[in-house]
């Protein structure tokens, strides 16, 4: 679960990481009220879960109420990379001497926590990562040992953080690591982590992603869940009880099992296509589930073909086939289906599909995942 910046900062504050005082506003008037109590100058920041807000014009300094009105008015409702700004965060503006970068993530290959730290933080960190990767120090943290101040300080030295900021940075790294582990984050990132003229080190931005698997440990996450933004497709899928994630491609995907659904995305990508979604219909691919899945896929205007990828284990091929035939009677699909049906009773299933009188223009059956992916992508590109 991704948090908005303001929520990330609230989360940081629980772990004693210094952030600026401010408040959330959904209207221009509220923004002014918050600005008055945060004290000028303030910065008005678009709250959307996408990076590069600054470059997109979603972050503005304001010295008085008029400027807050202008900026909040412009930013509220702004579209940043497809995300419409519904709230702004207004905080007291900070003076910045230097901008650093710090984050903790899980390095799945190494099975360890990974600290990334750079003295060259700010809005161009992606460029630094690409052109000057050595400017980003990477350090594994053993979760059993944790992160000591001494190790954190060494990382700061290695990252060429200037001497005057090293202690402040190390202290925040230790707190950020606690936030990452005890706070059950998948990602805890501060960019920029700033050095103020006063010598204080301070989190100016917050990117936090919480590990949904740890949900049961955190009743306090309820307030974050309330603001999760689903797109219309995801809302429809949730109402129908489906495991669906909207993507921005054009091949609709239906698969049974999360692993197979993931592989299906990969294969579509491998043959040069782009998936419109992730959708795992699980074990019970009966007519109701299949009809719901097809309805959700059909709702997505970008979908040009539908790739149904079923490997029958407990799910039997003839059940799936019956489900599809029945679902096709209920849902009027805009895009043709390419199906790969394999596993338990696959032949019986294909037989049912062949005998159902569905025209070739609406449903094609392919024996392998790769062939089906190629066909689905080809149809979509026509
Ligand atoms: P992002 O563009 O979405 O990563 O948003 P950030 O919160 O990281 O802000 C982008 C940039 O805006 C920062 O790197 C700063 O240079 C600038 N900025 C943000 N807040 C302040 C502030 O309080 N004071 C000043 N002077 N600049 C700020
Ligand atoms: Mn940032």
Model pLDDT for residues 256-302, shown as the tens digit of each residue:
999 999 999 999 999 999 999 999 998 766 778 988 999 999 999 99
Q: Probe ligand 1: pick from 8, 56, 122, 192, max atoms within 8 Å of CB?
A: 192
pLDDT(155) > 90? yes
Exposed/middle/buried for residue 147 (C-beta within 10 Å: 0-12, 13-18, 19+): buried
Would you say residue 364 lies in a domain?
yes
CA distance readout (Å), 57 to 60, 72, 79 = 7, 11, 10
**What local confidence, expressed as pLDDT, does residue 284 receive?**
67
Q: Is 102 in the same domain as 86? A: no
222 is annotated as an active-site residue: no
Q: Is 73 in the same domain as 88? A: yes
Q: Is 377 in the same domain as 236? A: yes
Would you say residue 368 lies in a domain?
yes
pTM exceeding 0.85: no
Among residues 91, 98, 189, 319, the one annotated as catalytic is 189
Q: Is 146 in the same domain as 206? A: yes
Q: Is 377 in the same domain as 322? A: yes
Looking at residues 348-358, what average pLDDT do you find? 94
Q: Is 203 in the same domain as 328? A: no
CATH number of residue 31's parent domain: 3.30.1490.20
280 lines ligand 1 (CB under 6 A): no
Q: Is 242 in the same domain as 130? A: no
What is the domain extent for residue 284? 232-381
Would you say residue 12 lies in a domain?
no
Q: Is 269 in the same domain as 287? A: yes
Q: Is 133 in the same domain as 87? A: no
192 lines ligand 1 (CB under 6 A): yes
Q: Probe ligand 1: pick from 123, 127, 194, 202, max atoms within 8 Å of CB?
A: 123
**What local confidence, expressed as pLDDT, does residue 138 receive?**
97
**What local confidence, expressed as pLDDT, does residue 313 receive?**
84
Q: Is 44 in the same domain as 120? A: no
Q: Is 72 in the same domain as 103? A: no
Give the position, in ligand 1's atom list, of the atom nearest the Cα of 207: 4
Would you say residue 2 lies in a domain?
no
**What local confidence, expressed as pLDDT, does residue 312 receive?**
86
Counting the structural domains of the chain, the total is 3
Would you say residue 303 lies in a domain?
yes
Q: How far apart are CA 69 and CA 73, in angstroms?
A: 6
Would you say residue 13 lies in a domain?
no
Q: Is 236 in the same domain as 372? A: yes
41 lines ligand 1 (CB under 6 A): no
Last residue of a domain, one of 47, 75, 92: 92
101 is annotated as an active-site residue: yes
* Ligand 1, atom 16, residue with closest C-alpha: 122
Last residue of a domain, one of 49, 67, 92: 92
* Ligand 1, atom 3, residue with closest C-alpha: 53
* Cα of 377 from ligand 1 centre, angstroms: 41
CA distance readout (Å), 304 to 201, 270, 324 = 51, 18, 18
Last residue of a domain, one of 92, 120, 137: 92
Would you say residue 294 lies in a domain?
yes
Would you say residue 10 lies in a domain?
no
Do 45 and 53 contact (CB within 8 A), yes or no? yes
Given pLDDT bands bounded at 50, 70 and 90, which one contains residue 37?
Answer: very high
């Amino acid at each position: 679960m991704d948090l908005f910046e303001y929520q990330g900062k609230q989360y940081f504050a629980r772990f004693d990481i210094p952030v600026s005082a401010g408040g959330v506003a959904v209207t221009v008037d509220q923004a002014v009220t918050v600005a008055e109590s945060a004290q000028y100058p303030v910065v008005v920041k678009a709250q959307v879960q996408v990076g590069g807000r600054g470059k997109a014009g979603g972050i503005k300094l304001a010295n008085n109420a008029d400027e807050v009105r202008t900026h909040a008015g412009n930013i509220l409702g702004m579209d940043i990379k497809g995300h419409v700004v519904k709230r702004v965060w207004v905080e007291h503006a900070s003076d910045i001497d230097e901008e650093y970068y710090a984050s903790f993530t899980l390095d799945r290959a190494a099975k360890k926590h990974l600290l990334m730290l750079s003295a060259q933080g700010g809005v161009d960190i992606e460029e630094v990562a690409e052109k000057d990767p050595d400017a980003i120090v990477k350090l594994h943290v053993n979760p059993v040992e944790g992160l000591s101040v001494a190790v954190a300080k060494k990382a700061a030295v290695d990252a060429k953080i200037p001497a005057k900021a090293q202690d402040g940075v190390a202290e925040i790294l230790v707190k950020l690591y606690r936030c990452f582990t005890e706070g059950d984050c998948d990602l805890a990132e501060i960019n920029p982590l700033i050095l103020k003229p006063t010598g204080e080190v301070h989190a100016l931005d917050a990117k936090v992603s919480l590990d949904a698997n740890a949900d049961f440990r955190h009743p306090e996450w309820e307030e974050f869940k309330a603001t999760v933004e689903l797109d219309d497709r995801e809302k429809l899928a949730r109402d129908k009880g489906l495991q669906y994630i909207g993507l921005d491609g054009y091949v609709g995907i239906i698969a049974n099992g999360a692993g197979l659904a993931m592989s299906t995305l990969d294969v579509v990508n491998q043959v040069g296509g782009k998936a419109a979604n992730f959708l795992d219909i699980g074990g019970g691919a009966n007519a109701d589930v299949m009809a719901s899945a097809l309805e959700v896929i059909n709702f997505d205007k970008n979908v040009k073909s539908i790739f149904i990828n079923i490997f029958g284990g407990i799910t039997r091929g003839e059940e799936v086939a019956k489900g599809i035939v029945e679902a096709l009677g209920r849902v009027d699909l805009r895009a043709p289906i390419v199906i790969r049906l394999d596993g338990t009773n696959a032949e019986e299933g294909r037989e049912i599909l062949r005998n159902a009188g569905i025209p070739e223009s609406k449903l094609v059956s392919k024996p392998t995942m790769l062939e089906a992916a190629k066909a689905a992508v080809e149809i979509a590109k026509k």
